[in-house]
Amino acid sequence: MKKKNILIVDDDHSMRFALSESLASCGYETEAVENGCEALLVFKKKKFDLVLTDMRMPGMTGIDVLRGVKKLSPCIPVILVTAYGTVNTAVEAMKEGAAEFIMKPFSLDDLETIVKNVLNNCETETAHKQEALQTSPGIITRDPRVIAILDMLRNIAKSKSSILIQGESGTGKELLSRYVHQHSNRRNNPYVAVNCAAIPHNLLESEMFGYEKGAFTGASQKKLGKFELANTGTLLLDEVSEMDMHLQAKLLRVIQESEVDRLGGNAPIPVDVRIIATTNTYLAAAIENKTFRGDLFYRLNVIPVKIPPLRERNGDILFLADYFLDKFGKESGAKKIVLSDKAAALLKSYHFPGNVRELENIIERAVLMTHGNHISPEYLCLEGQNDIETVHRSMSDFLPSSHLTSVNGIMTLKDAEKALICDTLNRVDGNKTKAAKVLGISVRTLWNKVQEYNVTESGSD
């Protein structure tokens, strides 16, 4: 088997020599350089399996070398050697993707074990990455800031550190949370999501922490809370700012102690859960207003992620639009559908208050409504962007004008509704799922109305 090749970076001559000799004696090929610049030059020319760099050097530091190497080759493991190993440097190095940290002084045995483990992990990780790529939820982006977030999240996915994802509604916070889970070693363990905004305050506590039989009136069975259900896996606390102060205190305790107290229970239960919290409100303001605990914020915000809104991700608008056109085009069985130049320009200048979710809905609706393979601006129905004339044209094009005439020029709301349903069904070839989406009602409601109005269809579902 080919020997693994290690690049050693250290400004101290005797340390360089000692590292080279020791690793060579363990069966590795080595090359040693004395500073970061030289290291990157050599790294560009030759293939290495691992980089071992000193942290404190004149000029480029170990972290600079780590960044440079990761830019050139994101998968190469980098080990940092330091005599100044503080927790902060370790966290910083981890976020930047360091595989390990060795603190001086160390023995040859320590060095050999760490290098061997890192190289082994790297091999299994490559295998896992291939697997994860196939199963990871599709996050479509070409925005450098989002790409950097994904890189960072992959690097810290294996740790247990809490992550706080902040971003406007519809920016993809939940998607990022799943991304972390799927890139972590917990990927085959539970992934549990709690939407703190959707569960009434008085129920959230028992949902999260569970209860014992008889804990309160109506507790006829023991119930496991989300923390216990997520044990060994990941727990997403969606809209965490919606938790009341009492629950925030309990949550803080769970994070600190890694154990939960069921309501009515008499002993804490140990849990091993990676917490990811999301919020679309500005937590600093909530802390100031005393509606969110500062200490909880710091516990959750170990790895802070701020996902930019879509309007600030210029390259992403049309890139994502293309992706959704393809997706919904395929679903509706149409040929390739594209945006007209005007529609593309309109999308690029739109402010997307609902972010990617809104873009997804806009494209889905446009694909359903358009006749040909081109989407023109009126089918986009952008909030506040279509001028009255365009809206009118699109409405009159879409409304069932043929049906809107009645004997005396007057029609009831029911007649209008029936006519609209007929026309929509005709437009989507009788497909009720699509028609319901266009009309903004559930398929069941559409069914009921079809029965009620005795609508005859031109196609089938």
Ligand X SMILES: Nc1ncnc2c1ncn2[C@@H]1O[C@H](COP(=O)(O)OP(=O)(O)OP(=O)(O)O)[C@@H](O)[C@H]1O
CA distance 153 to 147: 10
**CB distance 78 to 99 below 8 Å:** yes
Window 412-451: contact mask with ligand X (x via CB under 6 A): ----------------------------------------
**CB distance 139 to 316 below 8 Å:** no
Contact call for residue 170 and ligand X (CB under 6 A): yes
Minimum distance from CB of 172 to ligand X (Å)?
Answer: 3
Residue of 457, 440, 299 lying closest to 368 (CA atoms): 440
**CB distance 356 to 323 below 8 Å:** no
Name residues contacting ligand X, limited to 112-151 (CB under 6 A). 138-141
Q: Among ligand X, Mg ion, none, what does residue 140 contact (CB within 5–8 Å per kind)?
A: ligand X
Contact call for residue 169 and ligand X (CB under 6 A): yes
CA distance 16 to 445: 74
Number of residue whose CB is nearest Mg ion: 174
Query: Of 138 and 218, which CB lies nearer to ligand X in the complex structure?
Result: 138
CA distance 48 to 23: 14
Torsion of CA 138, 144, 150, 155, to 10 degrees: 150
Number of residues that bind ligand X (CB under 6 A): 17
Ordered strands of the 191-195 beta sheet: 191-195, 234-238, 274-279, 163-166, 303-306
Q: Among ligand X, Mg ion, none, what does residue 169 contact (CB within 5–8 Å per kind)?
A: ligand X
Q: Out of 89, 162, 171, 241, name the contact with ligand X by CB under 6 A.
A: 171
Residue 389, SS3 per DSSP: helix
Minimum distance from CB of 356 to ligand X (Å)?
Answer: 3
49 contact partners, CB below 8 Å, separation of at least 6: 4, 5, 6, 76, 77, 119, 122
Name residues contacting ligand X, limited to 173-212 (CB under 6 A). 173-175
Which residue stretch of 99-107, 115-123, 148-156, 171-179 sits at the interface with Mg ion (rule: CB under 5 A)?
171-179
Number of residues that bind Mg ion (CB under 5 A): 2
Q: Among Mg ion, ligand X, none, what does residue 332 contact (CB within 5–8 Å per kind)?
A: none
Residue of 421, 429, 430 lying closest to 453 (CA atoms): 421
Contact call for residue 174 and Mg ion (CB under 5 A): yes
Query: 82 pairs with which residues across the strands?
Result: 103
Minimum distance from CB of 141 to ligand X (Å)?
Answer: 5
Window 277-306: contact mask with ligand X (x via CB under 6 A): ---x--------------------------
Name residues contacting ligand X, limited to 325-364 (CB under 6 A). 356-357, 360
Contact call for residue 38 and Mg ion (CB under 5 A): no
Minimum distance from CB of 316 to ligand X (Å)?
Answer: 7
Q: Are strands 163-166 and 259-260 parallel, antiparallel or unpaired?
A: unpaired
Query: Of 59 and 315, which CB lies nearer to ligand X in the complex structure?
Result: 315
Contact call for residue 234 and ligand X (CB under 6 A): no
Query: Of 307 and 380, which CB lies nearer to ligand X in the complex structure?
Result: 307
Contact call for residue 112 and Mg ion (CB under 5 A): no
Helix, strand, coil share of the chain (percent; to 5): 50, 15, 35
Residue of 64, 36, 32 lying closest to 48 (CA atoms): 32
**Residues engaged in binding Mg ion (CB under 5 A):** 173-174
Residue ranges in contact with ligand X by CB under 6 A: 138-141, 167, 169-175, 280, 320, 356-357, 360
